[in-house]
Amino acid sequence: MRQRTLEIVVGCFMLAGIGALLFLALQVSGLTPQSGEPTYKVYANFNDIGGLSVRGQVSMAGVTIGEVTDITLDRETYQARVEMAVNRSVDIIPTDSTAVIRTAGLLGEKYIDVSIGADQSYMQPGDTFYGTQSALNIERLISNFASGK
């Protein structure tokens, strides 16, 4: 009987460990369940997205308000066109706001930070951000510094 109890305790411990590893893997990979909140699409054009990827966060004042849903190359301007799904509850983004690509965390995860403008009118579905600031490319900075540019 004692042997059977020990096996059950070890089995429960192993299941808890596997569950914890699965939870950590989902947190690190960003595969979290989608929220059921309705969204609307807005766009931004960047010269360099510097590693920004689909499912990247969109935040305003440190609060996550949406995610990146698509990244394409605009054939006319040769810029990266980023499509974002913003939560419909956040319908107060002024039209002169700026989308900035920033880096978060030790792993260098890229996200879009919305810097608020002062305009009295708000962005509507399908609008494009007035201003953008591309990602800081460390390799390019070092290369320019080394070559004296």
Domain limits for position 24: 1-33
Residues 124, 52 share a domain: yes
Residues 59, 1 share a domain: no
pTM of the model: 0.70
Residues 126, 112 share a domain: yes
Per residue in 87-133, pLDDT tens?
A: 999 888 999 999 999 888 777 788 999 999 888 899 999 999 988 88
Query: Is 38 within 8 Å of 88 (Cβ atoms)?
Result: yes
**Domains in the chain: how many in total?**
2
Identify whether 148 is part of a domain: no
Residues 110, 56 share a domain: yes
Per residue in 26-55, pLDDT tens?
A: 777 666 555 578 999 999 999 888 888 999
For 102, counting Cβ atoms within 10 Å of its Cβ (0-12 exposed, 13-18 middle, 19+ buried), the class is: middle
Residues 50, 22 share a domain: no
